[in-house]
Amino acid sequence: MRIILANKFNHLKGGADKYFLDLADILAGAGMEVAKFSMASPENLADRHERYFVSQVDFNKGNLFQKLKAAGRLLYSFEAARKFERLVADFKPDLVHIHNIYHQISPSILPVAKRHGLPVIMHLHDYKLLCPNYRMFNRQGICEKCKGGKFYHCALDRCLKDSFSKSLLGSLEMYLQHKILKIWDRNIDLYIAPSEFMRAKAIEWGVEPGKIAVLPYFIKTAEFRPGGHGDDYLLFFGRLSPEKGIDTLIEAVEKLPEVKLKIVGPGPEFQVLKERIGSSGLKDRVELLGPKYGEELKALVRNSLAVVVPSRWYEVSGIVNLEAAALGRPIIASDIGGIGEIVKDGINGLLFKPGDSEDLARKIRLLKTVDLPGLGDWAVSERFSPQIHLEKLRSIYERYVRKV
C-alpha cells in the first residue's frame, strides 16, 4: 500500500508532529511505501520527497505585502495544490492521510486528492476543524461560543493571540472553508479522533457520527522502560502555554513548602514563569529547565515522584500521559477532555478538578499515602503499542482503499 502523509512540519515541534513522524516510521517498517508532504524548513528531517514540499512561510514576519501574501495562503494555497498534484502524479498513492495542514499547507490539497479518486483520512490532533483558535480556550477559559458556526465570536473576543486582525482572519477562514467552500466536508472520507471525548465533542459540533472513528495514540513502548528511584520532585513536561495550567500547579506548590517541582519544555510562557518563580520565593524549590528530549527527558520522568498534567483546556488525549505511565510513574492530572481515558483515578494516578490549586495540593499530599494498584502492571504495551495501533489503522486503510 502506498500512503501520502501530510503534515505542515517534518520535524518535532509538538505532539501532532511526534505522532506524524512516528507513524511514518511504523508504516514504513510494516512494508508500506510512504511519501511525506510538508513545508520546507531547515529544521526538517531529510526526506526523499522534499522537492515537493511547499515553501516556508512565517505569518509573523515580513513587510505588509509579505504578510498579505501569507494571509492569502492561510485561506488557500495554490502552490500547495500545484506541488501536491505533482506528488500524487509521481508517487501514485492508494490513500492520503492528513494531519495538521492548516495555514502552512491549507486544505487546497484536498480537492486534488479527490480529483484523483483517492480516499482521504484526516487525523484530528486539536479542535481547529471546529474552533478558529484550535483549543476551545481563550483568556476567560473554556469557550464554545463558535458552536453552530458562529465563528464571528473569535474576532469579537480576540481569540487568536489577543489580536483583532488575526482573529478576524481566523473567523473569515472558517466561514470560507466551512460555510462557502465546505472544503473539509466534501473531501474528507473519515476523521480519526485520538479519544472518545474528542469524538463526542466533534459530533456535538456537527460532525456526522458515521464519519468519525476513535484511534488512541501510540508510543514506541520498547523505548519506554520503567525504572528510576522515585525522587522527591514533581515533574511537568510539555508546552508552556496558558491552557496547560502551569499557573495552577505553581499555586499548589506554593501551598506545599516541602514539595519540589521541575518544569520542562519550551513555549510562550517561559519568560513569565521565570519571572514569577524568581519573585515568589520559589526559586529554591522550582526549577525551570527548558526543553529536554530523548533519554534525558526519560530519566527526569523515571526519577520523579509523579508527573503532573494540570491542563485547563479540553486536552485531546495527551501523549505525556502515555509516556509517564509507560515509564512507571504516577500521574496527577486534571479531570478534563480525554485525560480520564488514560489516567484512571486511584489506579495509575489521581485526578483533580481543573484549575483548582487546592484540590491539586490535596492530591499531591494524598500521593504519598495512597496505593495505586495499576501503577506497576498497567498494560500500556497492550493498549497503546505500535503493533496494536498499526493493526487498527491498517484495517481502516484497507476498508477505504477497497471502496475506490
Residue 10's Cβ-count burial label (10 Å; 0-12, 13-18, 19+) is buried
The mean of the pLDDT values for the chain is: 91
200 and 269 both lie in a single domain:
no
Quick: pLDDT tens for 201-215: 999 999 999 999 999
- Give tens-digit pLDDT for 90-107: 999 999 999 999 989 999
What was the pLDDT predicted at 73? 66
Confirm whether 172 is domain-assigned: no
The count of structural domains within the chain is 2
Question: What is the extent of the structural domain holding 309?
Answer: 221-379
Taking only the tens place, the pLDDT of each residue in 124-160 is 999 999 999 999 999 999 999 999 999 999 999 999 9
pLDDT at 310 over 90: yes
Domain presence at residue 160: no
| Same domain membership, residue 394 and residue 358 | no
Is residue 59 very low, low, confident or very high in pLDDT (cuts 50, 70, 90)? low
Claim to verify: residue 64 and residue 195 sit in the same structural domain: yes
330-375: pLDDT as tens digits: 999 999 999 999 998 998 899 999 999 999 999 999 998 998 877 7
- Shared domain for 371 and 391, answered yes or no, is no
In this structure, the answer to whether residues 236 and 201 fall within a common structural domain is no
How does strand 331-334 pair with strand 306-309?
parallel
Task: Please write the tens of the pLDDT for every residue from 234-272.
Answer: 999 999 999 999 999 999 999 999 999 999 999 999 999
The 3 state secondary structure assigned to the chain is CEEEEECCCCCCCCHHHHHHHHHHHHHHHCCCEEEEECECCCCCCCCCCHHHCECCCCCCCCCHHHHHHHHHHHHCCHHHHHHHHHHHHHHCCCEEEECCCCCCCCCCHHHHHHHCCCCEEEECCCCCCCCCCCCCEECCEECCCCCCCCCHHHHHCCCCCCCHHHHHHHHHHHHHHHHHCCHHHHHCCEEEECCHHHHHHHHHCCCCHHHEEECCCCCCHHHCCCCCCCCCEEEEECCCCHHHCHHHHHHHHHCCCCCEEEEECCCCCHHHHHHHHHHCCCCCCEEEEECCCHHHHHHHHHCCCEEEECCCCCCCCCHHHHHHHHCCCCEEEECCCCHHHCCCECCCEEEECCCCHHHHHHHHHHHCCCCCCCCCCCCHHHHCCHHHHHHHHHHHHHHHHHHC
Whether residues 399 and 328 share a domain: the answer is: no
Are 42 and 71 contained in the same domain?
Answer: yes
Alpha carbons 316 and 6: distance in angstroms, whole number: 20
Regarding whether 119 and 61 lie in a shared domain, the answer is yes
Instruction: For residue 64, name the pLDDT band (cuts at 50, 70, 90).
Output: very low
Question: For residue 171, what pLDDT band results from cuts at 50, 70 and 90?
Answer: very high
Q: Are residues 244 and 359 in the same domain?
A: yes
